[in-house]
Structure 1
Amino acid sequence: MYDSEEWCSPPQIEIIRISEVFNPIVNNAYYQQLSQMQEVWGTDRQPIPEMSRAIPIRTAWDRNRMNEVLLFHGCKWDSLFGILRRGFDPRLGGINTGAAFGIGCYFTTVASKADAYTERWEEWEGRPNCEIPADLRCLLVARVALGEIFELREADASLRRPPTGAAPGPIKTRLYKAIDGN
């Protein structure tokens, strides 16, 4: 837990490779959506306290801030290759792993949280016959524009898009209207 004094064992991880994947079609779609967000809201979005440990991104210094950050996304191999080809599709988010806060793309500042949604190469039934380490997992670092937030006090799997307005009372979870890029 953030800011906790309690420590856990260090992760058993070995980084084999870091690769940048650039899909110009997905990238252009991201910038178009980001531009629309900036035009609709017209001003900087309020910073999100939970994102203080994320790496902030600023697409253009002369445009409004839309809470752009780098976040982790974990998924199974089938989903990974679809994301690399077509980008994140919020209509499909949660189909394989559940969607406690509705259908959408889920991101986190915590790599170990995202890693919980990955699978080992040898666990993938559709894997091609090639020399890949059996324990290999893949974790994505995605550029995400969070935009405006909606505070939610409990899970609601029926959501299909983020609600508008603010929820009263104590906050347990936050939903973000997000767009993603690569």
Structure 2
Amino acid sequence: MRKGVMAACVLATSLGLLTAGCGDKHKAVPSSGGLAQPTSPGPEQSPPESPGAPESSPPAATESPGATVSPAPGPVTINAKDTSVGKILVDDKGMTLYLFDKDKDGKSSCTGECEKQWPPVVTTEKATAGQGVDASKLGTTDRPDGTKQVTYNNHPLYHYVKDTKPGDMNGQGAQAFDGKWYVVDATKGDKIEKK
């Protein structure tokens, strides 16, 4: 009988089956009964995800400081143009030029905010008279910032920011900065008051 039990244990052991009666050297069958199942490995653990490189936003574009622009690098040509109010002064692009009746003795009184609205005609060289312009009336005057402003018949000359194309005369007769602004008569070199 003992030999029969031992033979059954050997057979069961060789088949991977464990029984309760096979002695101390063998494991007992699980309490649930039946055959012992090999332990299934736990769910495969994937390696922890590396956070990866943090998203880097593209570097902010740096604005290169603008170069200082010379107001008029080179000579300035003053021309005459026939208009509805007479023959007036214009620049070499045909833009209307003005005088400021507050200016005295050939000196500009338009600075600061005024010169942003009424940019002075400045040059680094001598102004040139175009067709219909009296060269003897052309000159320059020193501005407070050290630039040279073109004059005609001793009147400092200006553009107007609201003139956007040749032929515009939006500043004619305008009241601004404690004075009035007029187009300039190319022949006489004085203001033209009519609109």
Shorter-normalised TM-score: what interval? Answer: under 0.3
TM-score w.r.t. structure 2 length? 0.22
TM-score w.r.t. structure 1 length? 0.23
Which protein has the bigger helix share?
1
Which protein has the bigger strand share?
2
Query: Which has more radius of gyration?
Result: 2
